[in-house]
Amino acid sequence: MGIETSTLDRSAIHGEEMVLNIGPQHPSTHGVLRLQVLTDGEIVTKITPYIGYLHRCFEKHCENVTYEQVIPYTDRCDYVASMNNNFGYAVAMEELMGIEVPEKVHHIRVIVAELNRIASHHLAIGTFGLDVGAFTPFLYCFRDRERILDLFELLCGARLLYNYIWVGGVSHDFPIGFVEKVYEFLDYFEPKIQEYNDLLTFNKIFIERTADVGVLPADVAISYGVSGPNLRGSGVKWDLRKNEPYSIYNKFEFDIPIGTGAMGTVGDCWDRYYVRIRELEESVKITRQALDQMPREGDVHAALPKKIRPPKGHVYSRTETPRGDLGFYIISDGKPKPFRLKLRSPAFTALSCIDEIARGWMIADVIAILGSLDIVLGEIDR
């Protein structure tokens, strides 16, 4: 594994194993997470994650509220990419009910989802830099993320928990001047990606800390159900927006960036990080195309009754959020409340493989690996 110990006599350096607790309150755990790390000297021999500190009974709540009332709860699962969570739920509900939404709604949804993806990747990149000791890029990322949050505030009044994408439509139309502001943001933002590359991506210290560290092979990633940028970092060209297009993603031209092992091995922390940087460019591309093609006139709601009552049946539908495949398994018994609603969270599966990929590395590398997986505890604990 990680450290070249094959030439050493392991019994000579083998000491007593020590249990080290990282968290539950620790800046590098990105939330309330406890990692019980078993160490032999500086080398990690086993990691046991303890989760559930943020458990808010999401699925039990959903069985006791109506279908429309579920949407604000999905916001609070992945609280840095709420638009994408709303989007996933709306897509699942529309598949269950078999309804078509207007063309304009599709475009609005894609635009806000891709903007939120950019904001979420900003947070991932910034805090990853912070974890391995680079403080400045974090401030640059938050400077630009702020502009997206301002756009969303203009759009729906909220900065983090939007409750914007509803079943059959969106809550408001774009306000006057919003489209121009998004264009303005994209023009401002595109050259900034180069700034991140100069500051962090090709920084010698950053590469030393992340390249070749925490390699996640493709077959292990698939077996663990790891998805999104973490899976693509392992060199698997898999993106639901391309492979199983939902909404109108099949109308847009964009690439799927994958990890190539440019700085080390395919599937290391640097690859997972760099996939996110490249996805920023792709999201800008998609947003521009959606803005260009968006019909300016039209309604933003499909014709729906006041109380949603889906027909009896069940559906499993998944969409691509900034963290990977977000799945909703919904069972309807014909009443206005869901009979069963399961949220399959991408961060949950990403965290489950940490023992597999961090074993054999040093304690400092565990922090880098955890940062590169980009987990959100709200979504893991639900």
| Binding stretches for another protein (CB under 8 A) | 51-52, 55, 57, 59-60, 95, 220, 222-225, 236, 238, 243, 313-316, 318, 325, 327, 329, 331, 340, 342, 344, 348-349, 352-353, 356, 381-382
Q: How far is the CB of 53 from another protein (least distance, A)?
A: 9
Q: In this complex, which beta carbon is closest to another protein, that of residue 308 or of residue 354? A: 354
C-beta of 162: minimal distance to another protein in Å? 23
C-beta of 222 vs 248, nearer to another protein: 222
In the complex, the smallest distance separating the C-beta of residue 52 from another protein, rounded to whole angstroms, is 4
DSSP 8-class letter at 362: B
Query: CB of residue 319 vs another protein: minimum separation in angstroms?
Result: 12
Considering the complex, state which of residue 54 and residue 362 has its C-beta at the smaller distance from another protein. 54
- Is-contact 69 61, C-beta < 8 A? no
Buried b (16+ CB within 10 A) or exposed e, 81-104: bbbbbbbbbbbbbbbbbeeebbeb
Residue 228 CB, nearest approach to another protein (Å): 13
**Cβ atoms of residues 84 and 68 within 8 Å:** no
3-state DSSP assignment of residue 163:
coil
Half-sphere exposure of residue 121: CA atoms within 13 angstroms, side-chain side: 27
- Both tokens assigned to 341: 């609603």
Give kind and range of the element (H or E) at residue 195: helix 192-196
Residues making up the chain, counted from first to last = 382
77 or 151: whose CB is closer to another protein? 77
Q: What residue has token string 């990929």? A: 357
Least Å from the CB of residue 356 to another protein: 8
Q: 59 vs 173, which CB is nearer to another protein?
A: 59
Minimum distance from CB of 47 to another protein (Å)?
Answer: 13
Residue pair 119/148 in contact by the 8 Å Cβ criterion? yes
142 vs 146: CA distance, rounded Å: 6
Q: Which residue has the tokens 């939120």?
A: 116
DSSP for 1-21 reads --S--TTS-HHHH---EEEEE
Closer to another protein by CB, 31 or 137: give it: 31
Instruction: Please report how close the Cβ of residue 23 comes to another protein at its closest, in angstroms.
Output: 16
DSSP element (H, E) containing 282:
helix 269-293
Contact yes or no for 367/44 (Cβ under 8 A): no
The answer to whether residues 206 and 361 touch, using CB atoms and an 8 Å cutoff, is no
Residue with Cβ nearer another protein (65 or 302): 65
Cα–Cα distances (Å) from 219 to 24, 157, 231, 303, in that order, read 31, 43, 10, 45
Q: How far is the CB of 311 from another protein (least distance, A)?
A: 10
Q: What is d(CA 262, CA 260) in angstroms, rounded to the nearest whole number?
A: 5
CA atoms within 13 A on the CB side of 349: 21
Instruction: Report the residue number, 68 or 281, with the smaller CB distance to another protein.
Output: 68
DSSP-assigned letter for residue 310:
P
Minimum CB distance to another protein smaller for 46 or for 285: 46
Nearer to another protein, 159 or 314 (CB): 314
Q: How far is the CB of 54 from another protein (least distance, A)?
A: 9
